Amino acid sequence: MADTDPIGETTPQGPFALSGPTPRTPSQALPLRGDLAHIGLAGRYFVPHYAVPQPRAVLPGGAPLKVAPNEHAEALCDLLAGQSFEVLEVSGDWAWGCLSLAGPTGYVRSERLEPLP
């Protein structure tokens, strides 16, 4: 639906109206980046691409969940063996994803997750 402004132009209405920037969330809070988001966030956040999560189990020995894809990055938490991790993107040796739609979100070495089919 659109409204007409005083000069006859239509103003977009609805959830995707370009009315200003989306409020930022802490980068580890939601599976949301500027280029990609969890499909469960579609309709609430607008990004160029949405991903359907691919659940993977953390291998024995666990794995640290990092804020960035690098060995020296801060660890947010330690994932436990057998814990489910929702992979949204794999790039090089790192998988980006989340424990759940509510987070936390970060990077895990791909080799620490059940192999992708």
| pLDDT for residue 9 | 58
Judged on CB neighbours under 10 Å (0-12, 13-18, 19+), 5 is exposed
| pLDDT for residue 38 | 96
| pLDDT for residue 10 | 58
* Domain residue ranges in the chain: 27-112
Give the CATH superfamily of 27-112: SH3 Domains (2.30.30.40)
CA dist 49 and 47 (Å) reads 6
Below-70 pLDDT ranges, the chain: 1-27, 116-117
